[in-house]
């Protein structure tokens, strides 16, 4: 098969007026729901899916895909502007993106996120087009053992995210892992830590935890200092990134793209792990790691590109193998099945216009996102420059309605209130909340793979170091811990009893 | 711009909006249905249940003149979604599309938040066997060879199942029991994950729907040489396990269920519409392509079916030694 | 010996994590533990809880020995008001509807700010109500009860 003739089929399909307009609708709806907290792409797509049944299969898929990456994009905007990770993939964007916004660089942060994502999307699309069939096999290299090792590696990277003390980061990850276990156990169906409440059987709502720990806690700790936010007249320099900022972002974007493209292939959180793997790497490589957590450009550019690249390449296992790497991909498989197209290696041969049309539309959609969003940056920047007393009630109410809309219940609002109090406690104790959130998402997956691995090996722990992939990932994780701990230990020996900060 | 967003989002919210307008127009005593009907799907979106529901829900909506809105409420082997149905008003506007799992759950969960027998089944929709997808590196060519190997090496082979109480787990338990072998059960969160673990060679086999196994067979990652029905299956004429293990049968099924106390007039109306839809050739063809048998039974027959299945499930669950928790 | 901060964040954090870990471990004992080969639902939480309790102790001891960081002081009044505004919103949403829940939330939450005036609260409430209606109810079709009775 010829690469260029394939792309030609793809662009011919994607550039038809009908498909272009549905791509635009998807991207627009996606951006909107990404920006609004609460309603995520999964819920929206599930809601809209029946509407796509009446469309041509390729048109329906193009629209769904547009919603998916549009939402990733919109999610970063909220993360940067109001410190609210609406999607698990934008937790990392909160860390430095929000700090940049607070330093008056919101415009630059948004521009970097937009252009970084576009670059990552472009590269990932080319990768999908060129190497789909070959890359698809990567997913088959990952069994329970390898996944467990990947989660350990991911969580180790997560503790390095915290700019506070390492050991508190570990404690926060563990706390998150525990909270993530609430609900029905996969293997036995036993309800754990639900305290008799049926509403908890599916676990604690992620968005409620994220809002409580991030957005609401942030409001509380900012209210008193709200005179500090002066309304500045937006000038060109604070709307757009400077040449220096662009140069600082360039390499992190490329590295992030590479990491995201690779990890996105893995079902079960690969795309998300890529964003914090990228953060950890950038922090490690940086000459000024102390800037991380205080608005480091690399700390935003890398993860943003990684998560967008990962979101794109997660289409590969879905299209080529029929393996959904996340909920949205499962929905796309559902949409294909409705049209009697079984996802798998044969789609490429039997329905080339679907396969290549979708791929071409992804690039077009990413381009639309940039065109759509760059002009909006001045608007967003002005939005957060309004008085804080106007902004925070808006955040509160919109979040509350968003929480209600998840399942048309008020329970998530009560949970968010509870986690606000917990978040205040963590703020007081100087414990970073991001590692907790990552542990919260990975907790159930990690347990599942751990138990499955031991079930397969009949209780033999050796299984974890027999697989070369697993042992190398665990080795990297151990090395990362050592790199962090050694200087502390050495310092502790030579200059015991000196204040460490 | 603003107007554009509005128009677009409007189209996105068609279902809800049309619901409002219809509610206003409908008179009090107009015949059922006068507002949109909600289908609860107790599984994650995109699964096999969705696909079957999609095959008939659009046509049902046309016949009844009201939109059908699907809501996925996954979890606990369909218990979450079923509990939602139990809380709903028995007015025919909230229905549940559920698999055979509903008949297994009473014997697996000691504290169910509903009474399974009290529901009013509208109709059994479809029934279909599981295909056994086997890792292609294994040397077996038919089920007899697999059973012989498993007999000689108890506990060596592994099978992925989609969680406690799911059909695949019961089918495996039944095979272990009736063939006198021991294939170990490795639980997964859903069929998708267990399929890719077979394809990757981490586990040995999986019981799953024909349509989900087929792509892996085509790409050479799996062999499909047995299924849990009674007759040779599909274009490939996959032999039934019953040919080797007499009496072995496990059929998974889908049913449309209404809350307890739903009036007969409503179930009759739905039932009539479904019978007509399932008699249409294109629906038949669509389901036949997936080797799914459409059933569309009367409400009373569906109730009998449900009770009979519950008895079967009970004996399978007891014989394979699962206890309610 | 460094000067011990008055409110030691490490000691507080250590205590919190130890308690939370210990509680998790204790609660997980009520579930079947199983064996390493066939782990029951209780084993993994037991492991996590125990590990967390140990790490909490390490943080605690570190705090006592090395002083550690100073805890930030919490803004008590805003915490009460904001949390209350969330609870009140949730309660009023289903009992009376959005038309009452939004103003109630805005009034309570805005009290936490020194910029509170009745005029501002009314203006914000009206604006937010309009926004919620247009975006959530009209455009997205989310069944939020405007008037819930």
Nearest to B123 by CA among B78, B59, B56, B168: B56
pLDDT of residue B10: 42
- Nearest-Å Rg of the Cα atoms of chain B is 21
Size of interface A-B (CB pairs under 8 A): 149
pLDDT of residue B1: 34
> In A, residues 49-68, which contact B (CB 8 Å cutoff)?
49-51, 53-54
A455 to chain B: which residues are within 8 Å by CB? 184, 186
Whether B12 and C141 lie within 8 Å, measured CB to CB: yes
Nearest CA in chain A to B190: A186
Q: Where do the domains of chain C lie? A: 9-66, 76-139
Strands (E) in B200-299, as ranges, are 205-208, 222-227, 251-258, 293-294
Mutate which: B4, B5, B13, vs C, most C CBs within 10 A: B13
A452 to chain B: which residues are within 8 Å by CB? 186-188
3-state SS string for A6-24 = HHHHHHHHHCCHHHHHHHH
Q: Assign residue B291 a region: left if phi > 0, alpha if psi is -120 to 50, beta otherwise? A: left
Crossing angle of helices B191-199 and B210-218, in 10° steps, is: 20
pLDDT of residue C56: 95
pLDDT of residue A354: 85
Whether C86 and A398 lie within 8 Å, measured CB to CB: no
pLDDT of residue A178: 95
Please give the helix or strand (H or E) that residue A430 lies within, else none.
Answer: none
Residue C56's Cβ-side half-sphere holds a number of Cα atoms within 13 Å equal to 22
Alpha carbon of A329: minimum distance to chain B alpha carbons (Å): 8
Size of interface A-C (CB pairs under 8 A): 208
| Neighboring chains of B (3 or more beta-carbon pairs < 8 A) | A, C
Whether B10 and C140 lie within 8 Å, measured CB to CB: no
Q: What is the DSSP string of B152-169?
A: HSTTT-EEEESSTT-HHH
Nearest to B132 by CA among B172, B162, B97, B96: B172
Report mean pLDDT in 10-residue bins for chain B, 325 residues: 41 39 43 84 73 78 83 78 87 89 86 86 88 93 93 92 83 90 86 82 90 83 90 86 90 90 88 87 79 79 89 86 75
What DSSP designation does A211 have? Answer: I
Partner C contacted by A82 (CB < 8 A): no
- Nearest-Å Rg of the Cα atoms of chain A is 22
Q: Quick check: A282 and A302 in contact, CB under 8 A?
A: yes
Report how far Cα C17 is from the mean position of its chain's Cα atoms: 16
Report how far Cα A442 is from the mean position of its chain's Cα atoms: 13
Dihedrals phi, psi of A197, to nearest 5 degrees: -90, 125
pLDDT of residue B321: 76
Is A226's pLDDT higher than 60?
Answer: no
Partner C contacted by B8 (CB < 8 A): no
For the record, the structure tokens of A312 come out as 């794109």
> What confidence tens digit (pLDDT) does each residue in A257-287 have?
998 988 888 766 667 778 878 888 888 888 8
pLDDT of residue B63: 86
What is the rounded average pLDDT of the residues A172-200?
A: 85
Q: Which of A28, A53, A456 sits opposite B8 (nearest CB)?
A: A28
Alpha carbon of A297: minimum distance to chain B alpha carbons (Å): 32
B164 to chain C: which residues are within 8 Å by CB? none
* Residue pointed to by tokens 């060519």: B141
Report how far Cα A145 is from the mean position of its chain's Cα atoms: 23
Q: Assign residue B153 a region: left if phi > 0, alpha if psi is -120 to 50, beta otherwise? A: beta
Q: What is the DSSP string of B48-89?
A: HHHHHHHHHHHHHHHHHTS-EEEEE---GGGHHHHHHHHHS-
Residue B284's contacts (CB-CB under 8 Å, 6 or more residues apart) are B278, B294
Q: Quick check: B172 and B255 in contact, CB under 8 A?
A: no
A229 to chain C: which residues are within 8 Å by CB? none
Residue B222's contacts (CB-CB under 8 Å, 6 or more residues apart) are B133, B134, B135, B136, B198, B199, B213, B216
Report how far Cα A281 is from the mean position of its chain's Cα atoms: 16
- Give ∠ CA C103-C106-C109 in degrees, rounded to 5: 145
* Residue pointed to by tokens 């060129």: A130
Partner C contacted by A170 (CB < 8 A): yes
A177 band by pLDDT with thresholds 50, 70 and 90:
very high
Alpha carbon of C66: minimum distance to chain A alpha carbons (Å): 6
B203 to chain A: which residues are within 8 Å by CB? 456
| Neighboring chains of C (3 or more beta-carbon pairs < 8 A) | A, B
Mutate which: B1, B3, B16, vs C, most C CBs within 10 A: B16
C139 to chain B: which residues are within 8 Å by CB? 5-6, 9-10, 12-13
Alpha carbon of A96: minimum distance to chain B alpha carbons (Å): 31
C140 to chain B: which residues are within 8 Å by CB? 9, 12-13
Nearest CA in chain C to A216: C82
> What confidence tens digit (pLDDT) does each residue in A121-148 have?
899 888 888 877 676 677 778 888 988 8
Please give the helix or strand (H or E) that residue A65 lies within, else none.
Answer: helix A57-82
Q: Which of A29, A187, A201 sits opposite B75 (nearest CB)?
A: A201
A397 to chain C: which residues are within 8 Å by CB? 89, 102, 105-106, 128, 132
Alpha carbon of A24: minimum distance to chain C alpha carbons (Å): 17
> What confidence tens digit (pLDDT) does each residue in A283-311 have?
888 888 888 888 888 889 999 999 889 88
Q: Quick check: A293 and A96 in contact, CB under 8 A?
A: yes
- Nearest-Å Rg of the Cα atoms of chain C is 24
> In A, residues 359-388, which contact C (CB 8 Å cutoff)?
387-388
Does residue A385 or residue B65 have the better pLDDT?
Answer: B65
| Neighboring chains of A (3 or more beta-carbon pairs < 8 A) | B, C
Alpha carbon of C67: minimum distance to chain B alpha carbons (Å): 46
Q: Which of A177, A219, A447 sits opposite C82 (nearest CB)?
A: A219
> What confidence tens digit (pLDDT) does each residue in A405-443 have?
877 788 989 999 999 999 999 999 988 888 888 788 778
Report how far Cα A26 is from the mean position of its chain's Cα atoms: 19
Nearest to A324 by CA among A42, A71, A47: A42
Cis, peptide link before residue B33, omega less than 30° from 0: yes
Nearest CA in chain B to A45: B45
Partner C contacted by B6 (CB < 8 A): yes
Query: How far is residue A198's CA from residue A429's CA, in Å, rounded to a whole number?
Result: 33
Query: How far is residue B285's CA from residue B282's CA, in Å, rounded to a whole number?
Result: 5
The C-alpha torsion from B236 through B237 and B241 to B243, rounded to 10°, is: -150
Whether A226 and C32 lie within 8 Å, measured CB to CB: no
For the record, the structure tokens of A478 come out as 């151990």
- Assigned CATH class of B131-243: alpha beta
Alpha carbon of A349: minimum distance to chain C alpha carbons (Å): 38
Alpha carbon of B75: minimum distance to chain A alpha carbons (Å): 6
Q: Where do the domains of chain A lie? A: 3-493
3-state SS string for A72-107 = HHHHHHHHHHHCCCCCHHHHHHHHHHHHHHHHHHHH
Partner A contacted by B193 (CB < 8 A): yes
Size of interface B-C (CB pairs under 8 A): 16
Using DSSP's 3-state secondary structure scheme, residue A52 falls into helix
β-strands B37-41, B94-99 pairing: parallel
Q: Quick check: A340 and A88 in contact, CB under 8 A?
A: no
What DSSP designation does C134 have? Answer: I
Nearest to A435 by CA among A167, A73, A39, A183: A167
The C-alpha torsion from B211 through B215 and B216 to B217, rounded to 10°, is: 80
Nearest to B35 by CA among B47, B26, B45: B26
Alpha carbon of A93: minimum distance to chain C alpha carbons (Å): 24
Strand-pair partners of B40: B71, B96
Q: What is the pTM of this model?
A: 0.80
pLDDT of residue B221: 87
Mutate which: B162, B199, B202, vs A, most A CBs within 10 A: B202
Query: How far is residue B52's CA from residue A95's CA, in Å, rounded to a whole number?
Result: 44
Q: Which residues of A173-192 are buried (b: 16+ CB within 10 A; e: fewer)?
A: bbbbbbbbbbbbbbbbbbbb
Name the segment(s) of chain B with CATH classification 3.40.190.150: 36-127+251-319
Nearest to B216 by CA among A315, A337, A346: A346
Residue C47's contacts (CB-CB under 8 Å, 6 or more residues apart) are none
B5 to chain C: which residues are within 8 Å by CB? 139
For the record, the structure tokens of A118 come out as 């576009």
Is A149's pLDDT higher than 80?
Answer: yes
Query: How far is residue A210's CA from residue A191's CA, in Å, rounded to a whole number?
Result: 23
Residue pLDDT tens, chain C, 149 long? 455 566 788 999 999 999 999 999 999 999 989 888 888 889 999 999 999 999 999 999 988 888 777 888 888 889 999 999 999 999 999 889 999 999 999 999 999 888 889 999 999 999 999 988 887 888 767 778 888 66
Whether A417 and C90 lie within 8 Å, measured CB to CB: yes
Whether A29 and B9 lie within 8 Å, measured CB to CB: yes
Q: Assign residue B256 a region: left if phi > 0, alpha if psi is -120 to 50, beta otherwise? A: beta
> Mean pLDDT lowest for which of A1-5, A16-20, A167-171, B118-122?
A1-5
Whether B9 and C143 lie within 8 Å, measured CB to CB: no
Name the segment(s) of chain B with CATH classification 3.40.190.10: 131-243
Residue A134's Cβ-side half-sphere holds a number of Cα atoms within 13 Å equal to 6
Whether C56 and A400 lie within 8 Å, measured CB to CB: no
Q: What is the DSSP string of B10-47?
A: HHHTHHHHHHHHHHHH--TTPPSPSS-EEEEE-S-TTS
Alpha carbon of B8: minimum distance to chain C alpha carbons (Å): 9
Nearest to B154 by CA among B119, B180, B192: B180
Query: How far is residue A355's CA from residue A347's CA, in Å, rounded to a whole number?
Result: 7
Q: What is the DSSP string of C27-78?
A: HHTTS--B-STTB-TTHHHHHHHHHHHHHHHHHHHHHHHH--PBPPPP-HHH
For the record, the structure tokens of A476 come out as 């990297």
Q: Which CATH number fits domain B36-127+251-319: 3.40.190.150, 3.40.50.300, 3.50.50.60, 3.30.70.2860?
A: 3.40.190.150
* Residue pointed to by tokens 């940086």: A286
Report how far Cα C121 is from the mean position of its chain's Cα atoms: 25
- Per the prediction, chain A carries an average pLDDT of 81
Nearest CA in chain C to B10: C139
Nearest CA in chain C to A426: C13
């Amino acid at each position: 098969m010829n690469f260029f003739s394939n792309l030609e089929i793809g662009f011919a399909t994607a550039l038809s007026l009908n498909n272009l307009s549905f791509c635009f609708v998807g991207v627009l709806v996606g951006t909107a729901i990404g920006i609004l907290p609460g309603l995520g792409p999964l819920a929206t797509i599930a809601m809209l899916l029946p509407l796509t049944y009446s469309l041509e299969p390729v048109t329906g898929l193009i629209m769904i895909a547009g919603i998916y990456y549009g939402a990733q994009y919109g999610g970063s905007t909220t993360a940067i502007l109001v410190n609210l990770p609406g999607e698990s993939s934008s937790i990392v964007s909160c860390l430095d993106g929000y700090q940049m916004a607070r330093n008056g660089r919101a415009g630059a942060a948004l521009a970097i996120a937009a252009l970084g994502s576009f670059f990552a999307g472009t590269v990932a699309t080319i990768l999908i087009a060129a190497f789909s069939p070959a890359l698809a096999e990567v997913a088959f290299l990952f069994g329970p053992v390898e996944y467990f090792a990947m989660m350990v590696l991911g969580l180790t990277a997560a503790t390095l995210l915290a700019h506070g003390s390492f050991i508190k980061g570990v404690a926060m990850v563990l706390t998150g892992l525990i909270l993530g276990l609430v609900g029905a156990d996969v293997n036995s169906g036993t309800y754990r830590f639900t305290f008799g409440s049926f509403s908890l059987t599916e676990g604690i709502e992620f968005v409620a935890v994220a809002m409580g720990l991030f957005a609401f806690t942030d409001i509380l700790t900012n209210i008193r200092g709200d005179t500090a936010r002066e309304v500045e007249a937006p000038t060109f320099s604070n709307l757009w990134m400077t040449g220096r900022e662009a140069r600082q972002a360039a390499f992190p974007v490329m590295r992030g793209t590479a990491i995201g493209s690779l990890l996105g292939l893995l079902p079960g959180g690969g795309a998300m792990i890529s964003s914090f793997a990228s953060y950890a790497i950038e922090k490690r490589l940086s000459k000024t790691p102390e800037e991380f957590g205080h608005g480091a450009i690399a700390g935003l550019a890398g993860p943003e590109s990684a998560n967008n690249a990962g979101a794109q390449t997660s289409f590969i296992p879905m299209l080529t193998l029929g393996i959904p790497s996340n909920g949205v991909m499962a929905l796309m498989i559902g949409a294909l099945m409705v049209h009697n197209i079984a996802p798998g290696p044969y789609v490429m041969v039997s329905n080339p216009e679907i396969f290549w049309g979708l791929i071409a539309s992804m690039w077009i959609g990413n381009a639309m996102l940039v065109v759509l969003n760059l002009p909006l940056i001045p608007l967003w920047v002005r939005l957060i420059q309004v008085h804080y007393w106007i902004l925070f009630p808006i955040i509160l109410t919109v979040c509350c309605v968003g929480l209600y809309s998840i399942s048309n219940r008020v329970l998530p609002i009560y949970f968010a209130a509870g986690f606000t109090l917990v978040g205040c406690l963590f703020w007081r104790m100087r414990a970073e909340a991001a590692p907790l959130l990552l542990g919260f998402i990975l907790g159930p997956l990690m347990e599942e793979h751990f138990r499955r691995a031991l079930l397969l090996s009949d209780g033999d722990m050796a299984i974890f170091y027999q697989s070369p992939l697993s042992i190398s990932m665990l080795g990297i994780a151990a090395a990362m811990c050592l790199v962090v701990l050694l200087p502390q230990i050495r310092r502790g020996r030579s200059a015991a009893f000196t204040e460490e900060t | 711009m603003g107007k554009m967003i509005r128009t677009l989002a409007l189209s996105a919210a068609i279902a809800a909006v049309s619901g409002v307008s219809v509610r206003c127009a409908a008179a009090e005593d107009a015949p059922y249905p006068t507002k949109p009907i909600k289908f609860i799907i107790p599984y994650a979106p995109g699964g096999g249940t969705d696909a079957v529901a999609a095959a008939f829900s659009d046509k049902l909506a046309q016949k009844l003149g009201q939109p059908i809105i699907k809501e996925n409420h996954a979890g606990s082997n369909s218990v979450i979604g079923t509990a939602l149905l139990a809380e709903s008003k028995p007015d025919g506007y909230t229905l549940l599309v559920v698999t055979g799992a509903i008949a297994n759950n009473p014997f697996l969960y000691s504290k169910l938040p509903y009474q399974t027998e009290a529901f009013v089944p509208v109709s059994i929709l479809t029934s279909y066997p599981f295909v056994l997808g086997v890792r292609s590196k294994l040397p077996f060519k038919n089920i007899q060879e697999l059973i012989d190997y498993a007999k000689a090496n108890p506990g060596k082979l592994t099978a992925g199942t989609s969680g406690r109480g799911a059909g695949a787990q019961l089918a495996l338990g039944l095979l272990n029991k009736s063939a006198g072998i021991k294939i170990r059960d490795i639980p997964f969160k859903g069929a998708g994950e267990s399929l890719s673990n077979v394809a990757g060679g981490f586990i040995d086999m999986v019981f799953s729907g024909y349509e989900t196994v087929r792509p892996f067979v085509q790409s050479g990652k799996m062999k499909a040489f047995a299924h849990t029905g009674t007759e040779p299956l599909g274009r490939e004429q996959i032999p039934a396990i019953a040919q080797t293990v007499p009496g072995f049968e496990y059929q998974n099924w889908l049913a449309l269920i209404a809350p307890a106390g739903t009036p007969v007039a409503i179930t009759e109306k739905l039932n009539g519409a479904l019978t007509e839809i399932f008699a249409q050739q294109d629906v038949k063809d669509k389901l036949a392509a997936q080797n799914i048998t459409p059933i569309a039974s009367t409400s009373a027959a569906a109730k009998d079916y449900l009770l009979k299945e519950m008895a079967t499930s009970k004996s399978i669950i007891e014989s394979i030694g699962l206890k309610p928790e | 010996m460094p000067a011990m901060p008055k409110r030691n964040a490490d000691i507080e954090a250590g205590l919190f994590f130890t308690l939370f870990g210990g509680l998790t471990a204790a609660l997980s004992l009520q579930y079947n533990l199983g064996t390493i080969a066939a782990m029951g639902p209780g084993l993994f939480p037991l492991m996590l809880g125990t590990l967390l309790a140990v790490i909490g102790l390490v943080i605690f001891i570190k705090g006592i020995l090395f002083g550690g960081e100073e805890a930030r002081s919490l803004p008590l009044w805003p915490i009460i008001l904001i949390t209350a505004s969330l609870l009140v919103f949730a309660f009023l949403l289903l009992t009376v509807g959005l038309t009452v829940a939004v103003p109630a939330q805005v009034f309570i939450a805005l009290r936490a700010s020194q910029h509170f005036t009745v005029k501002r609260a009314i203006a914000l409430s009206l604006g937010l109500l309009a926004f919620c209606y247009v975006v959530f109810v009209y455009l997205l079709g989310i069944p939020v009860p405007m008037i819930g009775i």
